[in-house]
A = this chain, B = another copy of it.
Amino acid sequence: MATTRPGPNLSRIAASLGVSVATVSNALSGKGRVSAELVERIRATAAALGYVPSQAGRALRTGRSGVLGLVLPDISNPLFPQIAQAIEYSASVAGYGVLIADSRADVGMQTEAINRLVERGVDGMVIVPRRGTRISDAGCPVAVIDTPSTPGNTVSADHWQGGREIALHLGSLGHEKILLIGVSPSSNVQNDRIGGIKSALGAKVKTEILWIEKIEERDGPGCLLGLADKVRQGFTAFAAVSDLHALRALTELQKAGINVPDTVSVTGFDDLIWSSVVTPALTTMRMDMAAIADIAITALVDVIENGGPIERGGPGETFADEPPPGSRLVTAEKSRVPMQLIVRQSSGPPGPAKTNLSDGELST
């Protein structure tokens, strides 16, 4: 006895109208040539009966599940809500569902997560890699959201341009000694952001990069970054590659009695949830996740449905053993989406009259 679904199916509609299931199917899908009048009647009964097409039946017949996978190796990433929301929206507009896969920040589990999605029969997947993860054999079309400078990237925010805008903003405010705060030099995204910042600053602006990873290796996780010292050294702006680290900088500075933004400015990236809530709010660069998701999903769906333009293994990608049968990196016309500057602090460095910080004030 095969389990029957609760709702009505095509046969029921067909029977109640005295037509064939083929005609009902054609009428509902709008593909076959069915008389307008009959289409109308079929639509009406389908609606009246509360017909919901069976994805299983359709999937089995067409070989497509209508579902895409979303892989975020680092799901605890605070960007996840923005990404998931945008991807889910674009996918649902395109008629697809979104299945999530988590590799719990463990690179080794990423393959596992991808396999789980493949086993569920996803038609394609969107991967947001972290730190040069190799997107190997997915066995289905894959769109990658990383950074334009990464080989195989399908679409992403223009992190370099984002860096430039932050730099131009800080430069125009008169900051001449800027501390750049990143986590790890092995992150493509962070390198692009930092590279962009440095490229746009005039020659007379001094910068220094502080890698949190290195400090924590020495002083332990959650340690102070020594920013009060940096203020004493004359830095007047702190540009972090993420709002999370901007927040860390902001609170460390505040705790040390340094006034933000009167004495120094703090900027971040990504417009994460708290950046508009803290005092003072953070100047930041926002990704246009809606546009990014839209481009990624459109490219992915194009390959799935029309076998659109694809690349078997992106440039620079190497497949260890055999290239997986259906695995292909999807490409998009527009692969870099501009980031948008959101100014919430607009102070320059304190003028001579205001530069009267004593060591006492700085050392909490």
Contact = CB atoms under 8 A, between A and B. Distances in A.
Interface of A: 2-6, 52-57, 59-67, 70, 75-78, 80-82, 84-85, 88-89, 92, 97-102, 104, 116-121, 139, 222, 224, 244, 247-248, 250-252, 254-255, 257, 259-260, 273-274, 276-281, 325-326, 364
B67 A99 contact: yes
A306 to B, nearest CB: 14
A64 B92 CA distance: 22
B259 A280 contact: no
Nearest to A281: B222
Contact of A248 (B120, B244, B277): B277
Contacts of A254: 251, 254-255, 279
20 contacts: A2-B61, A3-B61, A4-B63, A52-B119, A55-B59, A55-B65, A57-B60, A59-B59, A76-B81, A84-B84, A84-B100, A84-B102, A85-B102, A85-B104, A89-B104, A99-B100, A251-B280, A254-B279, A255-B260, A274-B274
Nearest to A122: B97
Nearest to A258: B254
A37 B142 CA distance: 40
Contacts of A76: 81-82, 85, 273
A248 B102 contact: no
Contact of A244 (B54, B121, B274): B274
Given A2-B62, A6-B326, A100-B100, 18 more contacts: A3-B64, A52-B118, A55-B119, A56-B59, A56-B121, A66-B120, A76-B81, A76-B273, A78-B81, A78-B274, A80-B80, A84-B102, A89-B104, A222-B277, A250-B251, A254-B255, A255-B280, A259-B364
A216 B276 CA distance: 14
A277 B102 contact: no
Given A75-B81, A77-B81, A104-B89, A3 B251 contact: no
B273 A255 contact: no
Given A85-B76, A102-B89, A273 B244 contact: yes
